[in-house]
Chains A and B, each alone.
Chain A
Amino acid sequence: MQFQILLNIVIAFIWMLLQNSFTIVHFVFGYIVGLGMLFFLRRFLRFDFYFRRVYAFIKLLLLFAYKLIEANWDLIKIILRPKMDITPGIIAVPTELKTDWEKTLLANLISLTPGTLTMDFSEDGDILYIHAINVPDKEKAIREIHESFEKAILEVTQ
């Protein structure tokens, strides 16, 4: 319930940004547009909302940003190497996350971290297939996924 209200307000703000005018009229209009959107999407909005999660979500966003910068640094080093001596490969990484929403977040986070790119899920969705640019580093990548990413995502969703 609360989550839906928050989502509604966010939609109203996005509407104001799109209109580039910050008046109460546009906020109200955006809110009405959001109401319509929520009405059509109500089937997908069953989970509830706590404020603690907003904080965890901001932490997750910062982790995203930090990892993105680190990934770029790593990639530049590989690209500018005169001889490209990489050993790419596809590795299977099991995940403990349960819901689709958590797995989607994890897949995105992996795609933006150094040397890894999510490629596919297994049938039951418990194993992620990751394309790694340097297979010898895979232990480090897997450990990072389990210890820092999964934990950060669980803080947001539980």
Chain B
Amino acid sequence: MIVMEVLVSILLLTGGLLSFLGSIGILRFPDVYGRLHAATKSATLGVIGILTGTFLYFLVMHDIFVGKVLLGIIFVFLTAPVGAFMISRAAYLTGVPLSKQTEQDDLKKARSEAEKAE
């Protein structure tokens, strides 16, 4: 029991910490695209950590199999990258500027060539 309590605690704390660090990342990155890196990766693993902890807690301590939590993990895993893809694409197409540190922009090149071809 003690081992499981420790494991659940570690999972919950790691999940919370990752979500917190992800929020700091959202504040610190210079542009939308950098912020999306923080929002997708940390938030995904953070939420998965918390949900896994919850699932294990109810399974071991109370003998309840909470299927909804498992579904939550799967859907977060599936939707986070798709969401990031759509947001960054929409941001780029509506002309949200890249940060000044940006070194390379292959997409701009490709798009101007495509416009020329038309």
A joins B in a complex:
yes
**Are A111's CB and B102's CB within 8 A?**
no
B114 contact from A92, A118, A123, Cβ within 8 A: A123
Chain A residues with Cβ below 8 Å from B33 are 88, 117, 119, 131
Interface residues of B, dominant DSSP: helix
A-B contact count (CB 8 A): 125
Q: How far is the CA of A109 from the CA of B40 in the complex (A)?
A: 12
Residue numbers of A with Cβ under 8 A of B are: 14, 16-18, 20, 22, 64, 68-69, 71-72, 75-76, 78-80, 84, 86-92, 107-109, 111-112, 115, 117-120, 122-123, 127, 129, 131, 133, 135
Distance between B92 CB and nearest chain A CB, rounded to angstroms: 6
Q: Mark B83-112, 1 if CB is under 8 A from A, else 0.
A: 011001100100000110111111110100
A72 contact from B18, B66, B71, Cβ within 8 A: B18
**Are B38's CB and A88's CB within 8 A?**
no
Tell me the nearest residue of chain B to A19, going by C-beta.
Answer: B67
